[in-house]
Amino acid sequence: MSLVHEKDYGTPKSKAEKTVTLTIDGQSVSVPEGTSVMRAAADLGISVPKLCATDMLDAFGSCRVCVVEVEGRGGTPASCTTPVAEGMVVKTESDRLSRIRKGVMELYLSDHPQEWDARKGGADCELHDVAEQVGVETIRYGDGGRNHLDCGVDDSNPYFSFDSSKCIVCSRCVRACNEVQGTFALTVEGRGFDSRISAGTPIDDFISSDCVSCGACVQACPTEALQEKAVIEKGVPTSSAVTTCAYCGVGCSFKAEMQGEEVVRMVPYKDGKANRGHSCVKGRFAIGYANHEDRILNPMIRDHYSQPWREVSWDEAIGFAAGKIKDIQAKYGRGAVGGISSSRCTNEEVYLVQKMVRAGFGNNNIDTCARVCHSPTGYGLKTTFGTSAGTQDFDSVEKTDVILLIGANPTDGHPVFASRMKKRLREGAKLIVIDPRRIDLVRTAHVKADVHLPLKPGTNVAMLTAIAHVIVTEGLMNEAFIQERCDWDEFQDWAAFVAQDERSPEAMEAVTGVDPDLVRRAARLYAKGGNSAIYYGLGVTEHSQGSTSVIAIANLAMATGNIGREGVGVNPLRGQNNVQGSCDMGSFPHELPGYRHVSEEGVRSIYEKLWGVEIDKEPGLRIPNMFDAAVEGTFKGLYCQGEDILQSDPDTKHVSAGLEALELLIVHDLFLNETANYANVFLPGSTFLEKNGTFTNAERRINRVRRVMTPKNGYEDWEVTQMLARAIGMDMNYSHPSEIMAEIADTTPSFANVTYELLDEKGSVQWPCNDAHPEGSPVMHVDGFMRGKGKFVVTEYVATDERTGPRFPLLLTTGRILSQYNVGAQTRRTQNTVWHAEDVLEIHPHDAEDRGIRDKDWVKLSSRSGETSLRAKITDRVAPGVVYTTFHHPVTQANVITTDFSDWATNCPEYKVTAVQVAPSNGPTDWQEDYQELSEESRRIQSLEAAE
Number of H helices, E strands in the chain: 29, 37
Mean pLDDT of the chain: 93
- Whether 909 shows a pLDDT value over 50: the answer reads yes
Question: Do 246 and 695 form a contact (C-beta atoms < 8 A)?
Answer: yes
- The residues that bridge with 69 in the sheet, in sequence order, are 91
Cα–chain center distance at 827: 13
Total tally of structural domains belonging to the chain: 5
Contacts of 632 (CB under 8 A, 6+ apart): none
In a domain, 312, yes or no: no
Angle between helices 737-747 and 347-355 (to 10 degrees): 70
Q: Does 566 lie in the same domain as 446?
A: yes
Q: Does 171 lie in the same domain as 187?
A: yes
Q: Does 441 lie in the same domain as 587?
A: no
- Write the DSSP symbol of residue 494: H
**Distance from C-alpha of 405 to C-alpha of 432, rounded to nearest angstrom:** 6
pLDDT in the model for residue 933: 66
Task: Identify the domain boundary among 93, 115, 132.
Answer: 93
C-beta atoms surrounding 758 within 10 Å: 18
Whose CA is closest to 441, among 399, 397, 410? 410
C-beta atoms surrounding 915 within 10 Å: 20
Is 896 or 439 the better-scoring residue by pLDDT?
439
**Distance from C-alpha of 341 to C-alpha of 343, rounded to nearest angstrom:** 7
Task: Identify the domain boundary among 546, 572, 598.
Answer: 572
Residue spans of beta strands (DSSP E) within 783-829: 810-815
pLDDT one-digit tens code per residue, 326-337: 999 999 999 999
What's the CATH code of the domain at 635?
A: 3.40.50.740
Residue 923 lies in domain? 810-937
Work out whether strand 858-862 and strand 914-920 pair parallel, antiparallel, or are unpaired.
antiparallel
Q: Does 398 lie in the same domain as 329?
A: no
Q: Does 587 lie in the same domain as 565?
A: no
pLDDT one-digit tens code per residue, 347-380: 999 999 999 999 999 999 999 988 888 889 999 9
In a domain, 178, yes or no: yes
- Write the DSSP symbol of residue 920: E
pLDDT one-digit tens code per residue, 14-34: 999 999 999 999 999 999 999
pLDDT, mean of residues 265-290: 95
Q: Does 847 lie in the same domain as 747?
A: no
pLDDT in the model for residue 120: 42
Task: Identify the domain boundary among 526, 550, 572.
Answer: 572
Residue 157, classed as helix, strand or coil, is coil
pLDDT, mean of residues 510-537: 97
- DSSP readout, 70-91? ETT--S--BTTT-B--TT-EEE
What's the CATH code of the domain at 816?
A: 2.40.40.20
Question: Do 80 and 11 form a contact (C-beta atoms < 8 A)?
Answer: yes
pLDDT, mean of residues 411-420: 96
Residue spans of beta strands (DSSP E) within 799-931: 810-815, 840-843, 858-862, 867-874, 882-886, 914-920
Is the pTM above the cut of 0.85?
yes
**Distance from C-alpha of 574 to C-alpha of 310, rounded to nearest angstrom:** 38
Cis bond before residue 454 (omega within 30° of 0): no
Q: Does 379 lie in the same domain as 354?
A: no
Contacts of 215 (CB under 8 A, 6+ apart): 159, 160, 268, 279, 281, 284, 285
pLDDT, mean of residues 69-88: 96
Q: Does 688 lie in the same domain as 587?
A: yes
In a domain, 781, yes or no: no
Residue 23, classed as helix, strand or coil, is strand
pLDDT one-digit tens code per residue, 291-319: 999 999 999 999 999 999 999 999 999 99
What's the CATH code of the domain at 214?
A: 3.30.70.20
In a domain, 593, yes or no: yes
In a domain, 675, yes or no: yes
pLDDT in the model for residue 900: 83
Angle at 563 between CA 559 and CA 566, to 5 degrees: 145
Q: Does 518 lie in the same domain as 445?
A: yes
Whose CA is closest to 456, among 916, 882, 901? 882
In a domain, 553, yes or no: yes
Q: Does 632 lie in the same domain as 488?
A: no
In a domain, 758, yes or no: yes
pLDDT, mean of residues 398-413: 96
**Distance from C-alpha of 300 to C-alpha of 292, rounded to nearest angstrom:** 18
Residue type, 768: P
**Distance from C-alpha of 678 to C-alpha of 682, rounded to nearest angstrom:** 10
pLDDT in the model for residue 896: 81
In a domain, 691, yes or no: yes
Q: Does 591 lie in the same domain as 568?
A: no
pLDDT, mean of residues 753-760: 97
- Whether 444 shows a pLDDT value over 90: the answer reads no
pLDDT one-digit tens code per residue, 110-164: 888 876 443 344 457 899 899 999 999 888 877 677 778 788 899 999 999 999 9
What's the CATH code of the domain at 25?
A: 3.10.20.740
Q: How confident is the model at residue 929 (pLDDT cuts 50, 70, 90)?
A: confident
Whose CA is closest to 662, among 290, 325, 420, 417? 325
Long-range contacts of 708-711 (CB under 8 A, 24+ apart): 708/1, 708/240, 708/241, 708/243, 708/256, 708/258, 708/263, 709/258, 709/261, 709/262, 709/263, 710/261, 711/686
Q: How confident is the model at residue 85 (pLDDT cuts 50, 70, 90)?
A: very high
Q: Does 492 lie in the same domain as 392?
A: yes
**Distance from C-alpha of 28 to C-alpha of 40, rounded to nearest angstrom:** 10
